[in-house]
Amino acid sequence: MEPWFDSQAAGMIGATIGVVLGAGFGGIGGGLGGPLAAMGKAKGLVLGVFGLGLAIGVGLVLTGIVALLMGQPWHVWFVFLMPGVVAAVIFAGLLPMIRAQYARAEQRKMDAAAIRSA
List CB contacts of 66: < 8 A, sequence separation 6 or more: none
Task: Give me the pLDDT at residue 28, please.
Answer: 83
Domain count, the chain: 1
Mean pLDDT confidence for 10-19: 94
Handedness of CA 70, 72, 74, 77 (dihedral sign): negative
Residue 45 lies in a domain: yes
Range of the domain at 61: 37-117
Contact between 32 and 46 (Cβ < 8 Å): yes
Residue 19 lies in a domain: no
Residue 43 lies in a domain: yes
Residue 1 lies in a domain: no
Residue 59 lies in a domain: yes
pLDDT at 24 over 90: no
Mean pLDDT confidence for 21-29: 84
Residue 23 lies in a domain: no
Residue 63 lies in a domain: yes
Alpha-carbon gap, residue 118 to 104, rounded angstroms: 21
Residue 93 lies in a domain: yes
